[in-house]
Amino acid sequence: MNAKKQFLLFLVPLMLTACQNSNSVNDSSVNKSSLLRDSELRSMTAYEILPKLKSGEVSVSDYMDVLLAQTLKYDDALKAFITIDPQAVREQAKAADEKRKSGVALGPLFGIPVSLKDLISTKDLATSFGTKKFSGFRPNKNAPLVDHLLAADAILFGKNNAQEWAYGSNGYNAHYGQQLNPYDLSRIAGGSSGGGVAAVASRMLPIAIGSDTAASIRVPAAYTGLYGLRPTTGRYDNSGVAPLAPTLDTVGPMTRSVEDLAIIDSVLSEDFSDLPMIDLSGLRLGIPKAFFHAGVSTEMLAAFESLLRKLRKAGVVLVEHDLAKAQELNDAGLYPILFYESYPSIAEFLETWGDGTSVAELYAELGPDIKAMWGQLVMPGAPDAISAEVYDAAINQARPAMQESYRSYFEKHNVSALLFPATASEAPLAMPDNPQQTIIDGETVSIFINDHNSSPGALAGQPGIVMPLALNAQGLPLAISLDGKSGQDRELMAVAKAIDQLIDPLPAPAIAQ
């Protein structure tokens, strides 16, 4: 019996009993350990619920019950999780409540549930890497970031669905299903970290950890009205996380507030410094357009221009200058590095963290979509494999040049961040299966146009934050992106927090209200 079936069998009797006692499990139910309604508990960010958990106003056990009930209700529809063990969640919650009662010091994530993209190795939960081959596999140790979370008293909530080995950006997994958008179940949640954003946006929990090689945290966050952080490359330990390209890979959080990004960043980076205070008046932001506005929908541009007017009114200095050679360097660097580094890094990872499976054996059981891509670009002898010469130019010329382009931009224009639309449009439709196209202003275009604006920062290794901006006419989230200075992640979060004051919070999806 798989973990999801165990989850359903465990919780269905509990839900039926609750229904008998209160006619229905709904948003009017009041949590027994506080005066907060279940809907209020679900909607709280980690920053908001944390003091209530630490004080005992809300017990961790009661909080987990509320979140597990929401997960049971909507996970089948959203395909947010591959593995979740409610008994283990409840045992962790019980232990947390006992720890609080003992009076010992509590960690910075005390009682906060965190889910992990199922590319992150966990010894006590199956780690599939989104594949059929590793279904039910348990690594012999945790990825270091998992131990950081547990040492901070977080609750390990479950493993999120993701595209197979993180290859792709539409959230389709041939084995575990299409990850769907809580704002509209006919739309994708995005990829490759789509399960995490589906869970957080639908209020199953407040924080998920994804991974981002080119766009895989920021685009899903943009589609689902969340905040997503791609940290400076190397800021977090990526050991034990299935790789695509070590030069580009990083893990990062997806949340419902900037404050939650800061909390999880503190734990994963061991940087507990306060966010600096940012005054909007006099803040300088770069507005690059030549690359970052290409192909963007008229609706997205209108929402973006509306924000720029608010920023100007608040005293922000907007410096309109383009990022030098963004298109040229991105084309020469990003995907040549990604596809060239994949095979050797996957082979090394399987030797260190796997079960003896070879890349060839893994390849044989990939879903047809990912198998076709690997066969074309990744496997030895692939017809479109990146040559050593092209890779050498990408890693030794294009990437350093992109890093210099960012460094020069910040220095020359004295800006704190670059600001631009996060994606070209709202989340695309989920049909047909494994969607490859979307429609922008009446024109059918590649779905990968929405990865476009995340790519230069990924190549350069800059910290980047996506944050919600507005709902469009269809009720779907639109978002903005900020790229910051290398190594100044806390400063970038502070800038995002200051800008966030000018943006009305998005309403929760109907399924989360």
DSSP string, 115-166: EEETTB--SSS---TT-STTTT---SS--HHHHHHHHTT-EEEEEE--SGGG
For the record, the structure tokens of 415 come out as: 């800006």
For 388, how many CA atoms within 13 A lie in the half-sphere containing its CB? 2
CB-based contact 248:512 (threshold 8 Å)? no
CB-based contact 492:417 (threshold 8 Å)? yes
Task: Tell me whether residue 216 is one of the annotated catalytic residues.
Answer: yes
Helix (H, G, I), strand (E, B) or coil at 22: helix
Q: Which listed residue (115, 216, 405, 425) is catalytic?
A: 216
Task: Tell me whether residue 117 is one of the annotated catalytic residues.
Answer: yes
Whole-angstrom distance, CA of residue 464 vs CA of residue 493: 9
Alpha carbon of residue 274 to chain centroid: 23
Residues contacting residue 195 through CB under 8 Å, at least 6 positions apart: 79, 80, 81, 82, 115, 117, 118, 160, 161, 162, 171, 179, 189, 208
Residue 109, classified by CB atoms within 10 Å of its CB into exposed (0-12), middle (13-18) or buried (19+), is buried
DSSP assignment, residue 276? P
Q: Which listed residue (33, 59, 115, 192) is catalytic?
A: 192
Whole-angstrom distance, CA of residue 223 vs CA of residue 457: 19
Q: Which listed residue (52, 117, 371, 497) is catalytic?
A: 117
For the record, the structure tokens of 422 come out as: 């996060």
Q: Is 261 left (phi over 0), alpha (psi -120 to 50) or beta?
A: alpha
Whole-angstrom distance, CA of residue 438 vs CA of residue 450: 10
Give catalytic residues, as residue numbers. Answer: 117, 192, 216
